[in-house]
A and B are shown apart, each in its own frame.
Chain A
């Protein structure tokens, strides 16, 4: 079955430290992959997307993600987090970009 898995339900990071949020996918072919962020009471904001080509994708807010076919992963990274990065992060995928499957999300807490 097609699926997107985010193994970490909750991550706590100190302000200024680096961040990596994990995402694994299971599809019969290379899917389109996305990272979204959701703040309380808000909709989903697109951070970055992978369709094909360069496996290192740059996004907004200093974020990047790397597509690794051998590991079926699309992990999100940031070299230095800010308190404003605290939110819920969702990885999503699809064989078309019309019917996305979302992971269950990773809640990011930033401590001073």
Chain B
């Protein structure tokens, strides 16, 4: 595909359940980013990968949040024991190396609702 894809597009979870959100970056893009967008807010940085290395996870809100990208392509954001405050749209973005002027291209997001 031409763009970043994410699945599922919508997820409803009961409080306490574990969820896994998938991101397929643009082919050849080295960097991958996860953001959380609460209702009525701008996206907030969660974590960043360069290939399979997680270089920054300073935005992950708690140790219930875990992200991986084992082969440097597809990434999964896992949320354990979901809470109502985890309800948000989770956006994935990817970028290609362009000498310091990389632009992040975003997927459509996964809308998570925790009941």
Contact = CB atoms under 8 A, between A and B. Distances in A.
Interface in A86-102: 90, 92, 97-102
A33 to B, nearest CB: 12
A104 B56 contact: no
Interface in B34-81: 35, 40-45, 48, 55-56, 58-59
B48 A98 contact: yes
A98 B93 CA distance: 10
A36 B108 CA distance: 13
A43 B108 contact: yes
B101 A99 contact: no
A97 B42 contact: no
| Band of interface residues on B | 20 to 34
Contacts of A34: 103
A43 B58 CA distance: 23
Contact of B102 (A43, A97, A101, A105): A97
Contacts of B103: 34, 46, 49, 97
Given A90-B42, A100-B45, A104-B41, A43 B56 contact: no
B56 A44 contact: no
A34 B33 CA distance: 16
Interface of B: 4, 31, 33, 35, 40-45, 48, 55-56, 58-59, 91, 93, 95, 100-109
Across the A-B interface, give the 8 residue pairs with the lowest CB-CB distance, nearest first.
Answer: A102-B42, A43-B106, A44-B106, A43-B108, A102-B43, A97-B102, A104-B42, A43-B107
Given A43-B4, A51-B100, A97-B103, 7 more contacts: A41-B108, A43-B91, A46-B104, A46-B105, A49-B101, A97-B102, A98-B31
